[in-house]
Amino acid sequence: MRNPRVVTVTPNSDYTLVLTFTNGETRVFDVKPYLDKGFFRELQDMARFMSVRSVLGSVQWSGGQDFCPDTLYLDSVSIEDLEPESRTERMITVTHE
pLDDT in tens, 7-22: 999 999 999 999 999 9
Residue 18 pairs with which residues in a beta bridge? 10, 28
In order of start, what are the domains of the chain with their CATH numbers? 6-80 (3.30.2020.10)
Q: What is the pTM of this model?
A: 0.83
pLDDT in tens, 57-89: 999 999 999 999 999 999 999 998 876 655 455
Residues 6+ apart with CB under 8 A from 51: 61, 62, 63
